[in-house]
Chain A
Amino acid sequence: MPTLSIDGTEIEVAEGTTVLRACEQAGVEIPRFCFHERLSIAGNCRMCLVEQVGVPKPLASCAMPVTDGMQILTRSERVQAAREGVMEFLLVNHPLDCPICDQGGECDLQDQALYYGRVRSRYREAKRAVTDKDFGPLVKTVMTRCIHCTRCVRFMDEVAGVPELGTMGRGEDMEIVAALDGCLHSELSGNVVDLCPVGALTSKPYAFAARPWELSHTESVDVLDAAGSAIRIDSRDGRVLRVLPRVNEEINEEWIGDRSRYAVDGLVVRRLDRPWLREDGGFRPVTWEAALAAVATALQAAAPERTAALMGDLPGLEGMTALADLMRARGVASVDCRQDGGAYGPGVPASWRFNAGIAGIDRADAVLLIGTNPRREAPVINARFRRRWRTAGLPVARVGPVTDLTYPVTELGAAAQVLVELAEGSHPFADVLERARHPLIVVGSGALARPDGGVVLGLARRLADAVGVAGADWNGFSVLQRSAARAGGLELGIVPADGGLDAGGMLAAARAGGLDFAYLLGADEIDPDAFRDTFTVYQGHHADRGARYADVLLPGAAYTEQAATYVNTEGRPQQARPAHPPPGDARPDWKILVALARELGSPLPYESLDGLRSRIEAAVPHLAHIDQLPPVAPLAPFGDPDGVLDAAPFEEMVPDYYRTCPISRASATMAACARAVADA
């Protein structure tokens, strides 16, 4: 291991470390524009210059590997002069438009100019101006501000795997362009806004909305897919203005998908902000008292076996627990957290979790995707697959429709029948899995929601056994969930009790007039028409599908407005925190249910969030270990491998990445994205 000195302090670093990284390890900050630790090294901005004693020219530290005995100076006069020189050149063509630039206050160039900029420019010639480009509805461009660091180009090329950005021309004439006007065809495109060190790429929906110092920051977790990405919610005056990723190395690293970032304008549209009661075919706004009284009356009148409760894709553990407790206390068996009808082994966590862990993808050496499109279902997880392919040539095969996943895929066809061949070992890819040290089988939640979901699950399970997918330090049987609520509901055991109806059963019963009362907790991805003749309560934050035929609408809080725990596809509990209170009369989900239970005269055994969380912990202890992966779940038997497979092929479960939930469906930005993709 080489030893070097940095500003006189000795430090030993790993072989191959760059000078910039060594400086960071020594606690010395090096300014940079083009360097980014998750992208390849470009070495083109020269802001990171340092001095090596005995070497006549300053070095670009980001690209220079450490050699033994190097003496690096980062604070010498020469370094200062060199960086001032670089800064002067960068500013030659950079407009002085900080007052009208959205990057202002969080701009690397602005910050560095404070330390290395001259007070007055010596440049008297004409500045260049560059035509702005159309990168679509998410990314606003002001290309005259670009300093050609190529971070955006490298991100799209390397991480997103959609090489649609490039540099045209050279020198003075160089410009960043997109392959096609009007849209970047990546679910991760918004990340270029974070990466751009200047104001060349900024968020289009957030344009001129706020200055960074006016915002309150709330650390939370994303719920618009099931990855559980770490986010920061930036809000002002009771309104979410933007969502940014936070670093979580085990999940999203530092990226988030475009829906997670940009759907938040949907949080203020079509909101339920007061209780409503259906009357004469229309809705009448009522007080909470009246609404709860109406619900209680109907619920008391309904027979428990003709009562059902269904949970959607967005509620947290607290709301789901309160609803399940309330219903079970009344002897209602038909309670289900799987609105999509997914077939999971009841009580077998390994049958619904991404057991390998998202970070486990970095160890996988063969992957089979079954009925899943990770690019649309969890873009940040897909980025890991892509990296594993780029760095280690990960072989990926898929049973399902052909789509571009941004890495090569061996297509095994969309027919489920091939699962039988795989499970019997007569398919060549079974050998690839068997030879792998860390084989990974990823089953999509959509594949399990088919009528033959149990058979698909069972065959995947049998294949897992056949190829030895679980070892001492590895369990490669993994389910990729799409909804933030599902794994949590399953961990809580919110499935019908004996004799109860599951989601499909509820809908069928409702259609046949066999239900008196249905309680939908944010259940929107169903056919609401089924509940036309059933007394239906819809509790949620948006007047979306589930609200259509409801008799009572109870306004709940969205994920940015309530404290709630979410379990991601790995089974990892994480906490969402409120950025501001819910609008109007809307209330946190659990509080509504606690109030309803009181109204019913049989209060729940908790009145506070802490009490409710203790109840959850008592039932499922590991759910209290926030941010921790759950204990390894044994691969107990589950599924029905000998059942009959459907002839129908696997289908794309996310035809429209941009609109998958009540929030994203209410978002004008997401609608614009869907249009842009359709037009291109």
Chain B
Amino acid sequence: MSGGTELFPGPDRDAAEAILGRYPPAHRQSAVLPLLDLAQRRHGGWLPPAVVDAVGDYLGMPSMRVRELVTFYSMFHDRPVGRYLVQVCRTTPCWLRGSDEVLAGAREELGIAPGETTPDGLFTLIEVECLGACADAPVVQINDDYHERLDGERMRAWLRDRRGAEDD
């Protein structure tokens, strides 16, 4: 895979060009993070190696430099994730407010440990550090949305609903 056409087909092409337009032409590489984000959204929430290399080609960056970024930022995933990426905050404020129960609820409901994906490919559960919303701890981020002031039961209920909705 190389070049922008295959990497960002159709309307994504405009989105990619718009992102590039924010940076001076001599500094195309500055667009690497938003473009990786765009690419990740278009490739099932993770970045296969070929996509990472393609982003490098698109920006004229050595693929090693792009791979470094993908592994450095926790928001990029170099392995497949479920349709719902459940990120449970475990940093002190959330922990004091019961993140352990939230995590336990998610584990029970999904039947998986942190770092794993449900066999149906719907949910991936991971623990993360502070999500920056401590005032409403405990916090869980699921895809782009924050779920705040959770407890174990509300966590389970949400996951149950989602699974039900997906099964229909």
Tell whether, in the assembled complex, residue A163 and residue B71 are in contact, meaning their CB atoms are under 8 Å apart. Answer: no
**Contact of B1 with A by CB under 8 A:** no
- Which B residues are CB-close (under 8 A) to A163? 62, 64-65
**Contact of B107 with A by CB under 8 A:** no
Q: What is the interface size of chain B, counting residues whose CB is below 8 A from a CB of the partner? A: 8
Tell whether, in the assembled complex, residue A157 and residue B72 are in contact, meaning their CB atoms are under 8 Å apart. Answer: no
Shortest CB distance B157–A (Å): 34
In the complex formed, the residue of B with least CB distance to A178 is B64
Interface positions, chain A 160-199, Cβ under 8 Å from B, are 163-170, 179
**Contact of B68 with A by CB under 8 A:** yes
Shortest CB distance B129–A (Å): 10
Tell whether, in the assembled complex, residue B62 and residue A168 are in contact, meaning their CB atoms are under 8 Å apart. Answer: no
Tell whether, in the assembled complex, residue A179 and residue B64 are in contact, meaning their CB atoms are under 8 Å apart. Answer: yes
- Distance, CA A164 to CA B72, complexed state (A): 17
Interface positions, chain B 26-80, Cβ under 8 Å from A, are 62-65, 67-68, 71-72
In the complex formed, the residue of A with least CB distance to B64 is A166
- Which B residues are CB-close (under 8 A) to A164? 64
Tell whether, in the assembled complex, residue A157 and residue B67 are in contact, meaning their CB atoms are under 8 Å apart. Answer: no
Tell whether, in the assembled complex, residue B64 and residue A165 are in contact, meaning their CB atoms are under 8 Å apart. Answer: yes
Which range holds the interface residue count of chain A?
10 to 19
Tell whether, in the assembled complex, residue A179 and residue B63 are in contact, meaning their CB atoms are under 8 Å apart. Answer: yes
**Per-residue CB proximity of A132-176 to B under 8 Å, as 1/0?**
000000000000000000000000010000011111111000000
- Distance, CA A437 to CA B63, complexed state (A): 36
Shortest CB distance B91–A (Å): 14
Tell whether, in the assembled complex, residue A157 and residue B62 are in contact, meaning their CB atoms are under 8 Å apart. Answer: yes
- Which B residues are CB-close (under 8 A) to A179? 63-64
Tell whether, in the assembled complex, residue B67 and residue A168 are in contact, meaning their CB atoms are under 8 Å apart. Answer: yes
A170 CB contact (under 8 Å) in B62, B65, B67, B72? B72
- Which A residues are CB-close (under 8 A) to B64? 163-166, 179
Shortest CB distance B69–A (Å): 10
- Which B residues are CB-close (under 8 A) to A168? 67-68, 71
- Which B residues are CB-close (under 8 A) to A167? 68, 71-72
- Which A residues are CB-close (under 8 A) to B72? 167, 169-170
B71 CB contact (under 8 Å) in A157, A165, A170? A170
- Distance, CA A591 to CA B63, complexed state (A): 56
In the complex formed, the residue of B with least CB distance to A175 is B71
In the complex formed, the residue of A with least CB distance to B68 is A166
- Which B residues are CB-close (under 8 A) to A166? 64-65, 67-68
In the complex formed, the residue of A with least CB distance to B72 is A170
**Per-residue CB proximity of A494-527 to B under 8 Å, as 1/0?**
0000000000000000000000000000000000
- Which A residues are CB-close (under 8 A) to B63? 179
In the complex formed, the residue of B with least CB distance to A170 is B72
- Distance, CA A166 to CA B65, complexed state (A): 7
In the complex formed, the residue of B with least CB distance to A166 is B64
In the complex formed, the residue of A with least CB distance to B63 is A179
- Distance, CA A211 to CA B65, complexed state (A): 36
- Distance, CA A166 to CA B72, complexed state (A): 11
Shortest CB distance B134–A (Å): 21
- Which B residues are CB-close (under 8 A) to A170? 71-72
Interface pairs (11), CB distance under 8 Å: A157-B65, A163-B62, A164-B64, A166-B68, A167-B68, A167-B71, A168-B67, A168-B68, A169-B72, A170-B71, A170-B72
The 4 closest A-B pairs by CB, nearest first: A163-B62, A166-B64, A168-B71, A166-B68
